[in-house]
């Protein structure tokens, strides 16, 4: 770790995220293309109703995704020519090597972006030996910036809410506040799942064993304890893995269970969560030391212990199994 200027990398990624964010907020997602595992090729957005099949609608990519990744990759290659780049739109494999690597998701939450729902982010990470060391997650619509460097804590920089309205004729001045995560310190303990809000996502696999595992687990989380459920207080499905992880780091989401994501979805948020005192384990029972590219994760906020992990694993209906993992 001492061989790298992690603070310098952090500062560069923050500036790059803000530059890319400006491009995202000024864009109009005019073209929808499909990801690798979809059958349809291109669907144009127009004034007419969209004709989007389920396969496309569950796994979208826009021209803005591609443009932002091009911007990020060219900037990183110019500044750090010796470091590999793993990006969602250009990666031939989702596997992460031990080499020092930048890991990028240009728009995490593309479906939200297409629907003009402002829960999206650009996710930028730097990893070495397959361990994330720097994470930057930025929502350009809310201007919430989450940052973390290994061993230095995690932070949220966001617009400060004014205490009063400006006087007539005066401009609203934007000021920003940087706060250490989690937002509640010390974080309250989480005794069990019945006290929890849990984030989950459907993902783009809508049939097969992984889908059955997810739906069965969702049911078990919500069921009354009298019929062997966890009876969590509520679930949230918000459409951005990186922001879900940052919500766990903040402390307003207690757990986040995910299957089917890739390294670029979780690498930046991983650092933010751990530096905020939380933990990341595997999505299947017994996976205490997950890989960043393992594609199944359980993320817990500070204050949640191993007992909650074990309780959650006991409610997983089967096992999540994905390609490109050991």
Rounded to whole angstroms, how far apart are CA atoms 62 and 30?
A: 7
Percent of the chain with pLDDT over 90: 76
In the numeric block, which tokens belong to residue 94?
């989702």
Radius of gyration of the chain (CA): 20
**pLDDT-derived band at 323, boundaries 50, 70, 90:** confident
Q: Judge contact between 257 and 230, C-beta under 8 A.
A: no
**Range with the poorest average pLDDT among 136-140, 208-212, 322-326:** 322-326
| pLDDT (mean) for 4-24 | 96
Percent of the chain with pLDDT over 70: 86
- pLDDT of the residue at 272: 98
Which is more confidently placed, 58 or 214?
Answer: 214
**Residue 38, pLDDT above cutoff 50:** no
| pLDDT (mean) for 92-97 | 88
Eight-class DSSP state of 255: E
Rounded to whole angstroms, how far apart are CA atoms 276 and 152?
A: 10
| pLDDT (mean) for 206-234 | 97
Q: Is 229 helix (H, G, I), strand (E, B) or coil?
A: coil
**Residue 51, pLDDT above cutoff 90:** no
In the numeric block, which tokens belong to residue 149?
């460097």
- pLDDT of the residue at 89: 82
* pLDDT tens digits for range 52-86: 333 344 556 678 888 999 999 999 999 999 999 99
């Amino acid at each position: 770790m001492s061989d790298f200027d992690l603070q310098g990398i952090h500062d560069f990624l923050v500036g790059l995220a803000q530059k890319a964010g400006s491009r995202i907020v000024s864009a109009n997602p005019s073209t929808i293309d499909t990801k690798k595992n979809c059958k349809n090729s291109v669907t144009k957005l127009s004034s007419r109703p969209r004709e989007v099949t389920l396969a496309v609608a569950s796994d979208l990519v826009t021209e803005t995704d591609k443009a932002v990744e091009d911007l990020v990759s060219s900037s990183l290659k110019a500044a750090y020519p010796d470091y590999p780049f793993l990006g969602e739109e250009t990666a031939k494999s989702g596997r992460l090597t031990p080499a020092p690597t930048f890991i990028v998701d240009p728009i995490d939450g593309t479906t939200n972006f297409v629907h003009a729902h402002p829960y999206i982010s650009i996710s930028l990470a730097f990893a070495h030996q397959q361990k994330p060391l720097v994470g930057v997650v930025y929502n350009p619509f809310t201007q919430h910036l989450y940052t973390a460097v290994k061993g230095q804590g995690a932070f949220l920089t966001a617009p400060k809410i004014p205490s009063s309205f400006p006087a007539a004729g005066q401009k609203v001045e934007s000021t920003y506040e940087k706060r250490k995560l989690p937002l509640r310190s010390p974080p309250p303990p989480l005794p069990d799942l019945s006290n929890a809000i849990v984030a989950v996502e459907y993902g783009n696999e809508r049939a097969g064993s992984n889908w059955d595992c997810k739906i069965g687990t969702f049911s078990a989380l919500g069921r009354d304890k009298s019929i062997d459920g966890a009876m969590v207080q509520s679930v949230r499905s918000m459409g951005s893995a990186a922001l879900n992880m940052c919500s766990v780091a903040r402390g307003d989401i207690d757990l986040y269970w995910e299957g089917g994501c890739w390294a670029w979805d979780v690498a930046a948020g991983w650092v933010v969560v751990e530096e905020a005192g939380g933990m990341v384990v595997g999505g299947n029972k017994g996976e205490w030391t997950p890989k960043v590219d393992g594609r199944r994760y359980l993320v817990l906020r500070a204050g949640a212990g191993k007992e909650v992990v074990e309780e959650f694993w006991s409610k997983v209906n089967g096992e999540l199994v994905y390609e490109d993992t050991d």
